[in-house]
Structure 1
Amino acid sequence: MIKLGSLTYQELKEKFRIKSPWDLIIIFVLNILITIPIFIIAHHNFITLDWAHHIDRIILFLVILIAIQFVLRALRRVTLISIILYVIMLGYGTLSGKYGFTSVIEDYRSMMYTMNEDPHPEDIIISKLLPFPNKSKIVDAVEYQNPRIRNFSIMAINKHFKHVKGYYDYFTIIQSFAIFKEINTRWNYVSDPKGHDYIASATESLQYLSGDCDDHSVFMAACIKSIGGTTRLIHTKGHIYPELLIGTKKDLERINYAIKKELFPIESKNKPINYHIDERGNIWLNLDYTAKYPGGPFMNEEILGALTLD
Protein backbone atom coordinates (compact mmCIF):
# COMPACT_ATOMS: atom_id res chain seq x y z
CA MET A 1 0.00 0.00 0.00
CA ILE A 2 1.33 3.44 -0.99
CA LYS A 3 2.18 5.74 1.93
CA LEU A 4 2.63 9.49 1.95
CA GLY A 5 4.39 10.40 5.19
CA SER A 6 2.47 8.62 7.95
CA LEU A 7 -0.76 8.37 5.89
CA THR A 8 -1.64 5.69 3.37
CA TYR A 9 -3.09 6.68 -0.02
CA GLN A 10 -6.52 5.39 1.05
CA GLU A 11 -6.41 7.38 4.29
CA LEU A 12 -5.32 10.49 2.43
CA LYS A 13 -8.17 10.11 -0.06
CA GLU A 14 -10.69 9.67 2.72
CA LYS A 15 -9.30 12.70 4.52
CA PHE A 16 -10.05 14.94 1.54
CA ARG A 17 -13.41 13.37 0.71
CA ILE A 18 -16.42 15.57 1.46
CA LYS A 19 -19.51 13.69 2.59
CA SER A 20 -22.96 13.92 0.99
CA PRO A 21 -24.90 16.15 0.42
CA TRP A 22 -22.15 18.76 0.77
CA ASP A 23 -20.09 17.13 -1.96
CA LEU A 24 -22.92 17.64 -4.48
CA ILE A 25 -23.44 21.26 -3.43
CA ILE A 26 -19.74 22.07 -3.64
CA ILE A 27 -19.45 20.28 -6.98
CA PHE A 28 -22.28 22.39 -8.43
CA VAL A 29 -20.78 25.65 -7.12
CA LEU A 30 -17.36 24.67 -8.45
CA ASN A 31 -18.99 23.75 -11.76
CA ILE A 32 -20.48 27.23 -12.11
CA LEU A 33 -17.13 28.86 -11.25
CA ILE A 34 -15.33 26.77 -13.87
CA THR A 35 -18.06 26.98 -16.51
CA ILE A 36 -18.21 30.79 -16.57
CA PRO A 37 -14.60 31.48 -17.73
CA ILE A 38 -14.69 28.51 -20.15
CA PHE A 39 -18.00 29.77 -21.55
CA ILE A 40 -16.55 33.28 -21.97
CA ILE A 41 -13.59 31.88 -23.93
CA ALA A 42 -15.91 29.74 -26.08
CA HIS A 43 -18.27 32.69 -26.61
CA HIS A 44 -15.45 34.84 -27.95
CA ASN A 45 -14.08 32.13 -30.27
CA PHE A 46 -17.16 30.30 -31.56
CA ILE A 47 -19.20 31.68 -34.44
CA THR A 48 -22.31 33.58 -33.36
CA LEU A 49 -25.37 32.07 -35.04
CA ASP A 50 -27.61 35.08 -34.33
CA TRP A 51 -30.48 32.91 -33.12
CA ALA A 52 -33.41 34.60 -31.39
CA HIS A 53 -32.85 35.41 -27.70
CA HIS A 54 -29.24 34.12 -28.02
CA ILE A 55 -30.44 30.49 -27.90
CA ASP A 56 -27.11 29.36 -29.40
CA ARG A 57 -25.24 30.85 -26.41
CA ILE A 58 -27.68 29.34 -23.91
CA ILE A 59 -27.16 25.90 -25.48
CA LEU A 60 -23.38 26.42 -25.45
CA PHE A 61 -23.46 27.32 -21.75
CA LEU A 62 -25.59 24.27 -20.89
CA VAL A 63 -23.35 21.90 -22.87
CA ILE A 64 -20.25 23.17 -21.03
CA LEU A 65 -22.08 23.05 -17.68
CA ILE A 66 -23.23 19.44 -18.18
CA ALA A 67 -19.83 18.27 -19.45
CA ILE A 68 -17.99 19.77 -16.48
CA GLN A 69 -20.61 18.37 -14.10
CA PHE A 70 -19.87 14.84 -15.33
CA VAL A 71 -16.12 15.38 -14.93
CA LEU A 72 -16.46 16.78 -11.41
CA ARG A 73 -18.84 14.00 -10.36
CA ALA A 74 -16.32 11.45 -11.58
CA LEU A 75 -13.65 13.21 -9.52
CA ARG A 76 -15.83 13.99 -6.51
CA ARG A 77 -13.47 12.19 -4.15
CA VAL A 78 -10.92 14.93 -4.77
CA THR A 79 -13.39 17.83 -4.90
CA LEU A 80 -11.58 19.77 -2.18
CA ILE A 81 -8.28 19.48 -4.04
CA SER A 82 -10.00 20.74 -7.22
CA ILE A 83 -11.33 23.78 -5.36
CA ILE A 84 -7.91 24.57 -3.93
CA LEU A 85 -6.25 24.30 -7.37
CA TYR A 86 -8.93 26.50 -8.95
CA VAL A 87 -8.56 29.20 -6.31
CA ILE A 88 -4.76 29.06 -6.59
CA MET A 89 -4.95 29.41 -10.40
CA LEU A 90 -7.24 32.48 -10.35
CA GLY A 91 -5.42 33.89 -7.33
CA TYR A 92 -2.12 33.71 -9.20
CA GLY A 93 -3.73 35.36 -12.22
CA THR A 94 -5.05 38.19 -10.05
CA LEU A 95 -1.71 38.84 -8.31
CA SER A 96 0.31 38.63 -11.53
CA GLY A 97 -2.03 40.96 -13.42
CA LYS A 98 -3.15 38.20 -15.76
CA TYR A 99 -6.55 36.48 -15.97
CA GLY A 100 -7.89 36.33 -12.43
CA PHE A 101 -11.03 36.76 -10.35
CA THR A 102 -11.57 40.39 -11.43
CA SER A 103 -11.15 39.52 -15.11
CA VAL A 104 -13.71 36.73 -14.88
CA ILE A 105 -16.25 39.02 -13.21
CA GLU A 106 -15.70 41.90 -15.64
CA ASP A 107 -15.82 39.68 -18.75
CA TYR A 108 -18.98 37.92 -17.57
CA ARG A 109 -20.65 41.23 -16.64
CA SER A 110 -19.80 42.79 -20.01
CA MET A 111 -20.85 39.69 -21.97
CA MET A 112 -24.23 39.41 -20.24
CA TYR A 113 -24.90 43.13 -20.66
CA THR A 114 -24.05 43.00 -24.35
CA MET A 115 -26.34 40.00 -24.88
CA ASN A 116 -29.19 42.11 -23.46
CA GLU A 117 -28.12 45.38 -25.12
CA ASP A 118 -26.84 44.27 -28.51
CA PRO A 119 -24.44 46.59 -30.33
CA HIS A 120 -25.59 47.03 -33.90
CA PRO A 121 -23.19 46.05 -36.69
CA GLU A 122 -23.71 48.08 -39.84
CA ASP A 123 -22.97 46.53 -43.19
CA ILE A 124 -20.45 48.54 -45.15
CA ILE A 125 -22.27 49.46 -48.32
CA ILE A 126 -19.74 50.15 -51.03
CA SER A 127 -21.17 51.30 -54.33
CA LYS A 128 -17.80 51.92 -55.96
CA LEU A 129 -14.34 52.58 -54.62
CA LEU A 130 -13.04 56.02 -55.41
CA PRO A 131 -9.78 57.78 -54.57
CA PHE A 132 -10.06 59.40 -51.15
CA PRO A 133 -10.75 63.10 -51.76
CA ASN A 134 -7.91 65.48 -50.89
CA LYS A 135 -5.95 62.60 -49.39
CA SER A 136 -2.54 64.30 -49.31
CA LYS A 137 -3.99 67.53 -47.89
CA ILE A 138 -5.86 65.61 -45.18
CA VAL A 139 -2.79 63.58 -44.17
CA ASP A 140 -0.75 66.79 -43.90
CA ALA A 141 -3.53 68.49 -41.94
CA VAL A 142 -3.54 65.76 -39.25
CA GLU A 143 -0.86 67.50 -37.19
CA TYR A 144 -0.80 64.98 -34.37
CA GLN A 145 2.81 65.83 -33.38
CA ASN A 146 2.04 69.50 -32.83
CA PRO A 147 2.37 70.35 -29.09
CA ARG A 148 -0.85 72.41 -29.16
CA ILE A 149 -2.82 69.39 -30.37
CA ARG A 150 -1.20 67.17 -27.76
CA ASN A 151 -1.92 69.71 -25.01
CA PHE A 152 -5.58 70.00 -26.00
CA SER A 153 -5.89 66.20 -25.90
CA ILE A 154 -4.33 66.02 -22.45
CA MET A 155 -6.67 68.75 -21.24
CA ALA A 156 -9.67 66.72 -22.44
CA ILE A 157 -8.34 63.54 -20.83
CA ASN A 158 -7.90 65.30 -17.49
CA LYS A 159 -11.37 66.80 -17.76
CA HIS A 160 -13.39 63.68 -18.63
CA PHE A 161 -13.38 60.09 -17.32
CA LYS A 162 -10.14 60.56 -15.40
CA HIS A 163 -11.41 58.57 -12.42
CA VAL A 164 -13.05 55.70 -14.31
CA LYS A 165 -11.66 52.43 -12.94
CA GLY A 166 -11.47 48.87 -14.23
CA TYR A 167 -10.44 49.47 -17.84
CA TYR A 168 -6.64 49.38 -17.67
CA ASP A 169 -6.38 47.40 -20.92
CA TYR A 170 -8.51 50.02 -22.66
CA PHE A 171 -7.17 53.25 -21.19
CA THR A 172 -6.24 54.68 -24.62
CA ILE A 173 -9.77 54.03 -25.89
CA ILE A 174 -11.29 55.60 -22.76
CA GLN A 175 -9.01 58.61 -23.21
CA SER A 176 -10.06 58.80 -26.87
CA PHE A 177 -13.67 58.94 -25.67
CA ALA A 178 -12.71 61.86 -23.43
CA ILE A 179 -11.36 63.68 -26.50
CA PHE A 180 -14.53 62.80 -28.42
CA LYS A 181 -16.67 64.23 -25.62
CA GLU A 182 -14.71 67.47 -25.40
CA ILE A 183 -14.74 68.06 -29.17
CA ASN A 184 -18.32 67.02 -29.89
CA THR A 185 -19.85 69.03 -27.05
CA ARG A 186 -18.06 72.17 -28.27
CA TRP A 187 -17.94 71.75 -32.07
CA ASN A 188 -19.68 74.40 -34.20
CA TYR A 189 -20.43 73.43 -37.79
CA VAL A 190 -19.31 76.03 -40.33
CA SER A 191 -19.50 75.45 -44.08
CA ASP A 192 -16.63 75.89 -46.54
CA PRO A 193 -16.56 78.89 -48.87
CA LYS A 194 -19.07 78.41 -51.66
CA GLY A 195 -17.58 76.48 -54.53
CA HIS A 196 -14.36 75.61 -52.64
CA ASP A 197 -13.35 72.56 -50.58
CA TYR A 198 -11.30 74.07 -47.77
CA ILE A 199 -9.26 71.67 -45.61
CA ALA A 200 -8.39 73.23 -42.27
CA SER A 201 -5.36 71.92 -40.42
CA ALA A 202 -5.85 70.52 -36.93
CA THR A 203 -4.22 73.60 -35.37
CA GLU A 204 -6.57 75.90 -37.32
CA SER A 205 -9.63 74.03 -36.03
CA LEU A 206 -8.23 74.12 -32.51
CA GLN A 207 -8.52 77.92 -32.35
CA TYR A 208 -12.33 78.03 -32.58
CA LEU A 209 -13.41 74.35 -32.63
CA SER A 210 -15.38 75.08 -35.77
CA GLY A 211 -15.53 73.86 -39.35
CA ASP A 212 -17.26 71.35 -41.58
CA CYS A 213 -17.19 67.55 -41.50
CA ASP A 214 -13.71 67.10 -42.95
CA ASP A 215 -12.28 69.72 -40.57
CA HIS A 216 -13.89 67.90 -37.63
CA SER A 217 -12.57 64.55 -38.86
CA VAL A 218 -9.03 65.87 -39.27
CA PHE A 219 -9.07 67.48 -35.83
CA MET A 220 -10.55 64.40 -34.10
CA ALA A 221 -8.04 62.10 -35.82
CA ALA A 222 -5.10 64.35 -34.92
CA CYS A 223 -6.06 64.55 -31.24
CA ILE A 224 -6.65 60.82 -30.86
CA LYS A 225 -3.50 59.97 -32.78
CA SER A 226 -1.51 62.31 -30.51
CA ILE A 227 -2.29 60.03 -27.52
CA GLY A 228 -1.67 56.73 -29.32
CA GLY A 229 -5.15 55.88 -30.62
CA THR A 230 -5.92 54.58 -34.11
CA THR A 231 -8.52 56.23 -36.32
CA ARG A 232 -9.66 56.10 -39.89
CA LEU A 233 -11.68 58.52 -42.01
CA ILE A 234 -14.70 57.26 -43.93
CA HIS A 235 -15.71 58.96 -47.15
CA THR A 236 -19.39 58.75 -48.06
CA LYS A 237 -21.45 60.70 -50.56
CA GLY A 238 -20.93 64.31 -49.56
CA HIS A 239 -19.58 63.51 -46.12
CA ILE A 240 -16.43 62.46 -44.20
CA TYR A 241 -16.42 61.19 -40.63
CA PRO A 242 -13.90 59.57 -38.24
CA GLU A 243 -14.00 56.09 -36.70
CA LEU A 244 -12.02 54.72 -33.77
CA LEU A 245 -10.43 51.26 -33.75
CA ILE A 246 -11.83 49.17 -30.89
CA GLY A 247 -10.44 45.70 -31.67
CA THR A 248 -12.16 42.35 -31.33
CA LYS A 249 -15.62 41.19 -30.33
CA LYS A 250 -14.40 40.73 -26.75
CA ASP A 251 -13.09 44.30 -26.73
CA LEU A 252 -16.43 45.55 -28.04
CA GLU A 253 -18.28 43.87 -25.17
CA ARG A 254 -16.15 45.68 -22.59
CA ILE A 255 -16.40 49.00 -24.44
CA ASN A 256 -20.14 48.62 -25.00
CA TYR A 257 -20.61 48.20 -21.23
CA ALA A 258 -18.37 51.19 -20.51
CA ILE A 259 -20.26 53.47 -22.90
CA LYS A 260 -23.76 52.42 -21.85
CA LYS A 261 -23.26 52.11 -18.09
CA GLU A 262 -20.41 54.41 -17.11
CA LEU A 263 -19.28 56.95 -19.71
CA PHE A 264 -22.32 58.02 -21.76
CA PRO A 265 -25.31 56.49 -19.92
CA ILE A 266 -27.69 59.38 -20.65
CA GLU A 267 -26.68 60.01 -24.26
CA SER A 268 -26.80 56.30 -25.19
CA LYS A 269 -29.86 55.28 -23.15
CA ASN A 270 -32.07 52.87 -25.14
CA LYS A 271 -29.92 53.45 -28.22
CA PRO A 272 -27.69 50.93 -30.05
CA ILE A 273 -23.92 51.09 -30.38
CA ASN A 274 -23.26 51.22 -34.13
CA TYR A 275 -20.04 49.91 -35.60
CA HIS A 276 -18.34 48.62 -38.73
CA ILE A 277 -16.28 45.45 -39.11
CA ASP A 278 -13.46 45.67 -41.63
CA GLU A 279 -12.07 42.91 -43.83
CA ARG A 280 -9.68 41.82 -41.05
CA GLY A 281 -12.45 41.49 -38.47
CA ASN A 282 -11.48 44.71 -36.65
CA ILE A 283 -14.30 46.73 -35.08
CA TRP A 284 -14.55 50.51 -35.58
CA LEU A 285 -16.89 52.93 -33.78
CA ASN A 286 -18.43 56.04 -35.30
CA LEU A 287 -17.11 59.36 -33.91
CA ASP A 288 -18.99 61.74 -36.24
CA TYR A 289 -19.75 65.28 -35.09
CA THR A 290 -23.46 64.34 -35.24
CA ALA A 291 -23.00 61.51 -32.70
CA LYS A 292 -23.76 62.22 -29.03
CA TYR A 293 -21.88 59.12 -27.89
CA PRO A 294 -19.21 56.86 -29.48
CA GLY A 295 -20.99 54.46 -31.80
CA GLY A 296 -23.89 56.82 -32.47
CA PRO A 297 -26.00 56.60 -35.66
CA PHE A 298 -24.28 56.91 -39.03
CA MET A 299 -25.34 59.75 -41.31
CA ASN A 300 -24.72 57.96 -44.60
CA GLU A 301 -23.94 54.31 -45.31
CA GLU A 302 -22.92 54.53 -48.97
CA ILE A 303 -19.19 54.28 -48.33
CA LEU A 304 -16.90 55.38 -51.13
CA GLY A 305 -13.55 55.00 -49.41
CA ALA A 306 -11.59 54.73 -46.16
CA LEU A 307 -8.32 56.28 -45.06
CA THR A 308 -6.62 54.65 -42.05
CA LEU A 309 -4.35 56.98 -40.08
CA ASP A 310 -2.12 54.49 -38.25
Structure 2
Amino acid sequence: MKKTILILFIVLQFCTLQIFAQFTKSQVDELTAKGIAAAIEPENPAIKSKAGELTGAYKEKEYIQNVCAVFDNLYRNWNYQRDPGGMEYFEKAGVSVYTYTGDCDDYATLMISLIKSLGGEGRIVCVSGHAYPELYLGKDLSESELDIFKESINSYYENKGSRTRAKYLNYHTDSNGSVWLNLDYQDRYPGGKFVEYSPDAEHLVIYSDGSYELAYLNK
Protein backbone atom coordinates (compact mmCIF):
# COMPACT_ATOMS: atom_id res chain seq x y z
CA MET A 1 0.00 0.00 0.00
CA LYS A 2 2.77 2.44 0.97
CA LYS A 3 4.61 1.69 -2.27
CA THR A 4 1.41 2.34 -4.28
CA ILE A 5 0.86 5.69 -2.54
CA LEU A 6 4.48 6.69 -3.18
CA ILE A 7 4.18 5.81 -6.87
CA LEU A 8 0.95 7.83 -7.19
CA PHE A 9 2.60 10.80 -5.47
CA ILE A 10 5.58 10.66 -7.86
CA VAL A 11 3.23 10.47 -10.85
CA LEU A 12 1.29 13.51 -9.60
CA GLN A 13 4.52 15.45 -9.07
CA PHE A 14 5.68 14.55 -12.57
CA CYS A 15 2.34 15.61 -14.07
CA THR A 16 2.53 18.91 -12.22
CA LEU A 17 5.99 19.61 -13.60
CA GLN A 18 4.80 18.68 -17.09
CA ILE A 19 1.85 21.08 -16.82
CA PHE A 20 3.96 24.00 -15.64
CA ALA A 21 6.59 23.23 -18.28
CA GLN A 22 3.99 24.22 -20.89
CA PHE A 23 3.99 27.83 -19.66
CA THR A 24 6.59 30.57 -19.78
CA LYS A 25 7.62 32.30 -16.54
CA SER A 26 5.56 35.37 -17.44
CA GLN A 27 2.50 33.17 -18.00
CA VAL A 28 3.02 31.44 -14.66
CA ASP A 29 3.33 34.85 -12.97
CA GLU A 30 0.08 35.98 -14.60
CA LEU A 31 -1.76 32.81 -13.60
CA THR A 32 -0.45 33.13 -10.04
CA ALA A 33 -1.55 36.76 -9.81
CA LYS A 34 -5.02 35.97 -11.14
CA GLY A 35 -5.44 33.00 -8.82
CA ILE A 36 -4.36 34.92 -5.73
CA ALA A 37 -6.41 38.02 -6.56
CA ALA A 38 -9.52 35.87 -7.12
CA ALA A 39 -9.07 34.30 -3.68
CA ILE A 40 -9.19 37.68 -1.90
CA GLU A 41 -12.80 38.21 -0.73
CA PRO A 42 -13.19 41.23 1.57
CA GLU A 43 -16.92 41.52 0.82
CA ASN A 44 -17.67 37.94 1.80
CA PRO A 45 -20.11 37.99 4.78
CA ALA A 46 -18.04 35.43 6.70
CA ILE A 47 -14.92 37.58 6.24
CA LYS A 48 -16.71 40.70 7.46
CA SER A 49 -18.12 38.83 10.43
CA LYS A 50 -14.73 37.41 11.43
CA ALA A 51 -13.03 40.80 11.06
CA GLY A 52 -15.65 42.40 13.30
CA GLU A 53 -15.32 39.61 15.84
CA LEU A 54 -11.54 39.93 16.02
CA THR A 55 -11.40 43.72 16.24
CA GLY A 56 -14.50 44.51 18.30
CA ALA A 57 -12.45 45.42 21.38
CA TYR A 58 -10.19 47.76 19.37
CA LYS A 59 -12.69 49.91 17.49
CA GLU A 60 -11.66 52.98 19.48
CA LYS A 61 -7.95 52.19 19.18
CA GLU A 62 -5.48 53.08 16.43
CA TYR A 63 -6.07 51.17 13.19
CA ILE A 64 -2.75 49.34 13.49
CA GLN A 65 -3.98 47.73 16.72
CA ASN A 66 -6.95 46.33 14.81
CA VAL A 67 -4.43 44.86 12.38
CA CYS A 68 -2.52 43.42 15.35
CA ALA A 69 -5.69 41.68 16.54
CA VAL A 70 -6.20 40.09 13.12
CA PHE A 71 -2.53 39.15 12.76
CA ASP A 72 -2.31 37.71 16.28
CA ASN A 73 -5.35 35.51 15.71
CA LEU A 74 -4.13 34.13 12.38
CA TYR A 75 -0.58 33.67 13.62
CA ARG A 76 -1.71 31.66 16.64
CA ASN A 77 -4.35 29.56 14.93
CA TRP A 78 -3.25 28.98 11.35
CA ASN A 79 -2.69 25.33 10.42
CA TYR A 80 -0.10 25.04 7.67
CA GLN A 81 -0.93 22.41 5.08
CA ARG A 82 0.58 21.95 1.63
CA ASP A 83 -1.67 21.87 -1.41
CA PRO A 84 -2.68 18.27 -2.17
CA GLY A 85 -0.86 16.31 -4.83
CA GLY A 86 1.82 18.93 -5.32
CA MET A 87 -0.61 21.05 -7.36
CA GLU A 88 -0.85 24.79 -6.74
CA TYR A 89 -4.31 25.72 -5.49
CA PHE A 90 -5.55 29.07 -4.19
CA GLU A 91 -8.30 28.61 -1.61
CA LYS A 92 -10.98 31.28 -1.46
CA ALA A 93 -10.69 33.39 1.69
CA GLY A 94 -14.39 32.76 2.31
CA VAL A 95 -13.51 29.08 2.78
CA SER A 96 -10.24 29.37 4.70
CA VAL A 97 -11.87 31.75 7.19
CA TYR A 98 -13.71 28.67 8.48
CA THR A 99 -10.85 26.17 8.30
CA TYR A 100 -7.79 28.32 9.12
CA THR A 101 -5.89 25.73 7.10
CA GLY A 102 -3.74 25.97 3.99
CA ASP A 103 -0.34 26.99 2.70
CA CYS A 104 1.37 30.38 2.67
CA ASP A 105 -0.70 31.91 -0.13
CA ASP A 106 -3.94 30.87 1.59
CA TYR A 107 -2.75 32.55 4.80
CA ALA A 108 -1.87 35.67 2.81
CA THR A 109 -5.20 35.93 0.96
CA LEU A 110 -7.17 35.50 4.18
CA MET A 111 -5.06 38.14 5.93
CA ILE A 112 -5.53 40.67 3.13
CA SER A 113 -9.26 39.89 2.89
CA LEU A 114 -9.73 40.62 6.61
CA ILE A 115 -7.67 43.81 6.41
CA LYS A 116 -9.57 45.11 3.38
CA SER A 117 -12.89 44.34 5.05
CA LEU A 118 -11.78 46.73 7.82
CA GLY A 119 -11.09 49.47 5.29
CA GLY A 120 -7.36 48.92 4.97
CA GLU A 121 -5.25 48.00 1.97
CA GLY A 122 -2.69 45.31 1.38
CA ARG A 123 -0.84 43.29 -1.22
CA ILE A 124 0.71 39.85 -1.54
CA VAL A 125 4.37 39.29 -2.34
CA CYS A 126 5.78 36.08 -3.81
CA VAL A 127 9.51 35.42 -3.48
CA SER A 128 11.78 32.38 -3.12
CA GLY A 129 8.83 29.97 -3.34
CA HIS A 130 6.94 31.76 -0.57
CA ALA A 131 3.95 34.12 -0.50
CA TYR A 132 3.21 36.60 2.28
CA PRO A 133 0.98 39.65 2.91
CA GLU A 134 2.01 43.28 3.33
CA LEU A 135 -0.04 46.11 4.85
CA TYR A 136 -0.14 49.57 3.29
CA LEU A 137 0.92 52.11 5.93
CA GLY A 138 0.98 55.32 3.90
CA LYS A 139 3.19 57.40 1.68
CA ASP A 140 6.44 59.25 2.34
CA LEU A 141 6.43 58.33 6.02
CA SER A 142 9.11 59.78 8.29
CA GLU A 143 11.07 57.77 10.85
CA SER A 144 9.06 59.37 13.64
CA GLU A 145 5.79 58.34 11.96
CA LEU A 146 7.05 54.78 11.59
CA ASP A 147 8.07 54.81 15.26
CA ILE A 148 4.48 55.66 16.16
CA PHE A 149 3.34 52.49 14.37
CA LYS A 150 5.94 50.47 16.25
CA GLU A 151 4.92 51.95 19.61
CA SER A 152 1.27 51.19 18.89
CA ILE A 153 2.11 47.59 17.98
CA ASN A 154 4.09 47.18 21.19
CA SER A 155 1.27 48.77 23.17
CA TYR A 156 -1.13 46.15 21.80
CA TYR A 157 1.01 43.28 23.05
CA GLU A 158 1.83 44.98 26.35
CA ASN A 159 -1.86 45.47 27.10
CA LYS A 160 -2.45 41.77 26.44
CA GLY A 161 0.19 40.88 29.01
CA SER A 162 2.47 39.48 26.32
CA ARG A 163 6.24 39.77 26.26
CA THR A 164 6.20 40.12 22.47
CA ARG A 165 7.84 43.37 21.36
CA ALA A 166 8.93 44.77 18.02
CA LYS A 167 12.46 46.15 18.25
CA TYR A 168 12.20 47.44 14.70
CA LEU A 169 9.79 47.08 11.80
CA ASN A 170 10.48 45.31 8.51
CA TYR A 171 8.83 47.08 5.59
CA HIS A 172 9.31 47.87 1.91
CA THR A 173 9.25 51.35 0.45
CA ASP A 174 8.28 51.61 -3.23
CA SER A 175 9.78 54.10 -5.66
CA ASN A 176 6.66 56.27 -5.27
CA GLY A 177 7.12 56.47 -1.49
CA SER A 178 4.44 53.92 -0.55
CA VAL A 179 5.33 51.99 2.61
CA TRP A 180 4.26 48.36 3.05
CA LEU A 181 4.60 46.55 6.39
CA ASN A 182 5.50 42.85 6.46
CA LEU A 183 2.70 40.62 7.84
CA ASP A 184 4.40 37.27 7.29
CA TYR A 185 4.29 34.61 9.99
CA GLN A 186 8.09 34.47 10.32
CA ASP A 187 7.72 36.46 13.57
CA ARG A 188 5.04 36.83 16.23
CA TYR A 189 4.14 40.44 15.43
CA PRO A 190 3.35 42.68 12.44
CA GLY A 191 6.57 44.01 10.96
CA GLY A 192 8.58 40.87 11.73
CA LYS A 193 11.49 39.55 9.68
CA PHE A 194 11.31 38.91 5.94
CA VAL A 195 11.82 35.46 4.49
CA GLU A 196 14.21 36.93 1.89
CA TYR A 197 16.67 39.82 2.22
CA SER A 198 18.82 39.37 -0.88
CA PRO A 199 18.91 42.50 -3.08
CA ASP A 200 18.98 40.20 -6.11
CA ALA A 201 15.72 38.43 -5.21
CA GLU A 202 12.93 39.08 -7.70
CA HIS A 203 9.51 39.65 -6.13
CA LEU A 204 6.14 39.07 -7.76
CA VAL A 205 3.96 41.78 -6.21
CA ILE A 206 0.21 41.17 -6.46
CA TYR A 207 -2.34 43.86 -5.62
CA SER A 208 -5.88 43.20 -4.47
CA ASP A 209 -7.33 44.61 -7.71
CA GLY A 210 -5.59 41.86 -9.67
CA SER A 211 -2.76 43.98 -11.05
CA TYR A 212 0.79 42.79 -10.50
CA GLU A 213 4.41 43.66 -11.17
CA LEU A 214 7.90 42.23 -10.88
CA ALA A 215 10.18 44.19 -8.58
CA TYR A 216 13.39 43.97 -6.58
CA LEU A 217 11.98 45.17 -3.28
CA ASN A 218 15.18 44.69 -1.28
CA LYS A 219 17.23 47.14 -3.35
TM-score higher than 0.5: yes
Kept in 2, the 8 Å contact 1:132–1:305? The answer is no
Deviations 1:59-93 (A, max 9, x none): xxxxxxxxxxxxxxxxxxxxxxxxxxxxxxxxxxx
CA–CA separation in structure 2 for the residues paired with 1:198 and 1:137? 8
Q: Does residue 178 of structure 2 align to residue 285 of structure 1?
A: no
Q: Does residue 41 of structure 2 align to residue 143 of structure 1?
A: yes
- Extract unaligned runs of 5+ from structure 2: 1-24, 210-219
Give, as a single letter, the amino acid of the residue that structure 2 aligns with 1:221. Answer: I
Q: Does residue 107 of structure 2 align to residue 216 of structure 1?
A: yes
Identify the residue that residue 164 of structure 2 maps to in structure 1: 267
Q: State TM-score, norm by structure 2.
A: 0.72
Identify the residue that residue 96 of structure 2 maps to in structure 1: 205
Give, as a single letter, the amino acid of the residue that structure 2 aligns with 1:147. Answer: P
Identify the residue that residue 9 of structure 2 maps to in structure 1: none
SS class of match (1:245): strand
Give, as a single letter, the amino acid of the residue that structure 2 aligns with 1:255. Answer: F
Query: Between Structure 1 and Structure 2, which shows a larger proportion of helix residues?
Result: 1
Kept in 2, the 8 Å contact 1:132–1:307? The answer is no
CA–CA separation in structure 2 for the residues paired with 1:308 and 1:251? 24
CA–CA separation in structure 2 for the residues paired with 1:132 and 1:228? 27
SS class of match (1:184): helix
CA–CA separation in structure 2 for the residues paired with 1:137 and 1:215? 11
Identify the residue that residue 190 of structure 1 maps to in structure 2: 81
User: Which residue of the other structure, out of 143, 155, 163, is the alignment partner of 2:53?
Assistant: 155
In the TM superposition, residue 179 of structure 1 has moved relative to its aligned partner by 1.3
Identify the residue that residue 205 of structure 2 maps to in structure 1: 306
Greater CA radius of gyration, 1 or 2? Answer: 1
In the TM superposition, residue 149 of structure 1 has moved relative to its aligned partner by 0.4
Give, as a single letter, the amino acid of the residue that structure 2 aligns with 1:148. Answer: A
- Extract unaligned runs of 5+ from structure 1: 1-128
In the TM superposition, residue 155 of structure 1 has moved relative to its aligned partner by 0.4
CA–CA separation in structure 2 for the residues paired with 1:256 and 1:132? 35
User: Which residue of the other structure, out of 146, 149, 152, is the alignment partner of 1:255?
Assistant: 149
Q: State TM-score, norm by structure 1.
A: 0.52
Q: Percent identity?
A: 34
CA–CA separation in structure 2 for the residues paired with 1:133 and 1:236? 15
Give, as a single letter, the amino acid of the residue that structure 1 aligns with 2:33. Answer: K
The 5-angstrom pairing of residues 100-179 of structure 1 reads: 131=29, 134-159=32-57, 161-162=58-59, 164=61, 167=62, 171=63, 173-179=64-70
Residue correspondences, number: 173
